[in-house]
């Protein structure tokens, strides 16, 4: 069996961890005055929305509860309700900006389930297009992201705050 590795993900995760914080998501949550630097597009009462800076596709976003838990059963209903509201809102925003043909909405609970950061639960929303998994990542070991990260961040942040203000 062939294995495809993505060691850049570990490098990315490690670059965001500060010496004072064990959890990258808690670190981002505590950097309220640095939203643009860490690509947070919106903060709500129970969750924040952050752009994945090493995305699988254009517009790959994360909804992250402030609560440092590793299982969905540990979240209060009001946290989950807001998480679902944000995923719904992001679907609207990303559809308007990127015009995808579909979305993957995901939650990986535990390392065995594929969670890259398994100690802090987070939801993914990934815009998808027919044929977006082509020969480049499979044979060329390269993922083509066609949108400038900063430009995409600015568009998403402007739209979510305009359409779904806090």
Band the pLDDT of 54: cuts 50, 70, 90.
Answer: confident
Does position 39 have pLDDT exceeding 80, yes or no? yes
Q: Is residue 2 part of a domain?
A: no
Q: How far apart are CA 125 and CA 127, in angstroms?
A: 7
Tell me the pLDDT band of 111, cut-offs 50, 70 and 90: confident
Q: Which domain holds residue 89?
A: 7-163
The number of angstroms, rounded, from the C-alpha of 134 to the middle of its chain's C-alpha atoms is 22
For 1-28, the pLDDT digits (tens) are 444 455 555 555 555 544 455 799 999 9
For residue 64, list its beta bridge partners.
48
Q: Say what the pLDDT of residue 112 is.
A: 85
d(CA 117, CA 10): 9
Task: Indicate the pTM of the whole model.
Answer: 0.79
**86: how many CB neighbours lie within 10 A of its CB?**
25
More confident residue, 98 or 13: 98
Which residues belong to the active site? 122
Inform me whether the pLDDT recorded for 46 exceeds 90: yes
CATH number at residue 14: 3.30.428.10
Question: CB within 8 A of 28, min separation 6: which ones?
Answer: 16, 38, 40, 48, 50, 64
Task: Tell whether 49 is covered by a domain.
Answer: yes
Neighbours of 115 (CB within 10 A): 17
**pLDDT tens, 114-161?**
778 889 999 999 999 887 764 444 444 555 566 778 888 999 999 999
Structural domain includes residue 40: yes
Count of domains forming the chain: 1
Decide if 63 is inside a domain: yes
What is the side-by-side order of every strand in the sheet holding 47-51?
A: 40-43, 47-51, 61-65, 123-128, 102-107
Q: What is the DSSP string of 49-111?
A: EEE-SS-SSTT-EEEEESS--SSGGGS-HHHHHHHHHHHHHHHHHHHHHH--SEEEEEE--SG
> Is residue 1 a part of any domain in this protein?
no
The answer to whether residue 86 sits within a structural domain is yes
Mean pLDDT, the chain, integer:
84
């Amino acid at each position: 069996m062939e294995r495809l590795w993505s060691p850049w993900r570990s490098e990315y995760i490690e670059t965001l961890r500060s010496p004072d914080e064990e959890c990258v998501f808690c670190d981002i949550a505590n950097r309220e005055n640095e939203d643009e630097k860490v690509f947070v597009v919106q903060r709500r009462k129970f969750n924040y929305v952050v752009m994945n800076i090493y995305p699988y596709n254009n517009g790959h976003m994360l909804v992250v509860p402030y609560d440092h838990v590793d299982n969905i059963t540990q979240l209060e209903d009001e946290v989950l309700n807001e998480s679902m509201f944000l995923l719904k809102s992001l679907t609207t925003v990303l559809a308007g900006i990127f015009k995808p043909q579909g979305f993957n909405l995901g939650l990986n609970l535990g390392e065995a389930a594929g969670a890259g950061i398994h100690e802090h639960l987070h939801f993914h929303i990934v815009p998808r297009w027919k044929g977006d998994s082509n020969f480049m990542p499979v044979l060329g070991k390269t993922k083509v992201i066609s949108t400038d990260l900063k430009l995409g961040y600015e568009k998403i942040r402007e739209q979510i705050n305009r359409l779904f203000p806090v």
